[in-house]
Structure 1
Amino acid sequence: MSRFSLLVLSFITFSSLLCYIAASSQDVSGMSEERLEAMVDRVYDELVRQQDSQEDDEANCGCSWASPYTCGTNDGTVCNIQCCSKYRGGGGNNGGNNHNSGSSSSGWRTGKTTRYFDCAKPSCSWPSNTRLPTFVRSCLKNGVSPASPNGPNGSRHGGGDGTAYAYTCNNQHPFTKNGVMYAFAAANVPCCQCYELEFLSHSVGGASAYRGQLAGKKMIIQVTNKGGDLSGDHFDLMIPGGGLGIFDACSHQFGGHNWGNRYGGVTSESQCAGLPSQHRAGCYWRFRDFKNADNPGVKFRKLSKCPSELTSRSGCQA
């Protein structure tokens, strides 16, 4: 954190403390000096944590590229949404229907989806992130051989010779079975949880060209990546050719292939042929089963247990 940020925090800590006292209905008139100091420290630490989290999010997405000229439409990535929202205004759209997220009846909640695929080691592959007996399986450069749970991420370390670095396993791509779609996703929820999604006839929040082509269809997803910059109702679906974003491990893992636009990915089914053979099926799935839906809105609910169709590929059971 910068010195300026700390200086700002020192000015706002007192007002934040007053708000904390008012909200908690605490009587400070008889409070000891030690208790008052502890309360100030607690408020100050929370302000520092929030400031650091905001700075980390901005640094991770590298928003220096964003401008009114580069943010014309939502291309389906988290960083595009985070960096470009101030240039689009709230709730803009790109020709599709748009609604705000929120609660719905029958225990379902309304949410939104985006897409990405960066080949990087899933964050839920780190045992320290799952706090479960199991964690998401990651693979060596060939995409098949298991990587060490604590092996370095191929995107962060530049790939090297690939022998010790961890990547997304080749089989962690979307598929359809018995009329139900399955996929892995990033979300700001605990690792390895599974959700049932039912697609709406409209998009939810942000720009989208979605026209309702998936309305009524269902998908089961498992969260394999933590999305600290995502809201609790936002699922970033992992679809090959969906956009490398800033954590590009695909270039290190596979070398020279055409993955499409860095934010948004490929734009046509024919471009799937430019991906490595291991990921073409997942790319074709987007244009066939998923009907090239652009960030469709969903209603969703948490499942008590993940289906074997997903856990057999991820290796993780919440």
Structure 2
Amino acid sequence: MPSKLYLIIVTAFTAIALVNGQTAGTTTTTWDCCEPACGYTSNLSPGARGPVQSCNKSNQPAAAGAQNACFASSGNLAFSCDKYQPIIVNSTFSYGFAGHGNTATSTCCKCYQFTWTSGAGAGKSMIVQAINAGGITDTDFDIYTPGGGVGDYNACTAQYGAPSGGWGRQYGGVTSDSQCSQLPSNLQAGCHWRWEWAGGDVNEWQITYKQVNCPSQLTSLSGCTPAAI
């Protein structure tokens, strides 16, 4: 028979990891302009059809054989597309895209629904499609948000002439809605989303989430459809 200590530990772990049958995690923000990791067919999760679309400097489809702009500096380059900004559905629900998980083949193109349980966005929800992975924990979602911080890699200088450390903080990005005016006009709506819809910085807010089938509103933009669940 398990010891009382063992049962206490298991119960505590379950309470932390699962809330009403959902997994607990956190959100962060990113916009590094790199070609998404899920843009490589070899990175797709089992059964997914894709890969995720990448774009050229002008946000048109990247040419065949284009190299990730975060790892190449000249020639035929591939960037993230401006269509990966958050999409507002109503005052409490949005669609979007995110990096999720450290192993691409485990998460690429899958969709997840989460609800914030802390921060100014508490009670608001998103469905996001994972288009990037690597360097992200298995319970965190790095939401694609213009002005959300370039993080470890920066192709925004090559694509948009952004400062060498990106707009705002390298990790976390701009710190106010007014700073969204620093971004190119085609990215400003996604920057405002964070402050005007979510209500704040979004970084390190707590969530509960679960995997869901991907809506066409996301797969039609990314070009990638995961296996149904």
Could you say which residue in structure 2 is the equivalent of 1:300? 209
Show the 5 A alignment for 1:1-318. Answer: 102-130=16-44, 132-143=48-59, 145-148=60-63, 150-158=65-73, 160=74, 164-179=76-91, 180-188=93-101, 189-201=106-118, 212-227=119-134, 229-256=135-162, 259-292=167-200, 293-303=202-212, 305-318=213-226
CA–CA distance in structure 1, aligned partners of residues 140 and 69 of structure 2 = 26
1:266 partner letter:
V
8 Å CA contact 2:172, 2:203 repeated in 1: no
Q: Which has the higher helix share?
A: 1
Structure 1 residues 148, 296: CA separation in 2 closer, same or farther (over 3 Å shift)? same
2:67 partner letter:
P
Structure 1 residues 105, 118: CA separation in 2 closer, same or farther (over 3 Å shift)? closer
8 Å CA contact 1:125, 1:149 repeated in 2: no
8 Å CA contact 1:126, 1:149 repeated in 2: no
Residue identity over aligned pairs, in percent, reads 38
| Structure 2 unmatched ranges of 5 or more | 1-14
- What's the CA shift for 1:295? 2.2
TM-score of the superposed pair, with normalisation by structure 1:
0.60
2:210 partner letter:
R
CA–CA distance in structure 1, aligned partners of residues 78 and 86 of structure 2 = 20
Q: Which has the higher strand share?
A: 2
Higher-RCO chain (CA-CA 8 Å, sequence separation at least 6): 2
TM-score of the superposed pair, with normalisation by structure 2:
0.82
CA–CA distance in structure 2, aligned partners of residues 168 and 296 of structure 1 = 25
8 Å CA contact 1:126, 1:150 repeated in 2: no
8 Å CA contact 2:156, 2:162 repeated in 1: no
CA–CA distance in structure 2, aligned partners of residues 230 and 133 of structure 1 = 23
- Give me the CA root mean square deviation: 1.9
CA–CA distance in structure 1, aligned partners of residues 147 and 83 of structure 2 = 15
**Number of aligned positions between the proteins:** 203
CA–CA distance in structure 2, aligned partners of residues 264 and 124 of structure 1 = 22
- What's the CA shift for 1:170? 1.1
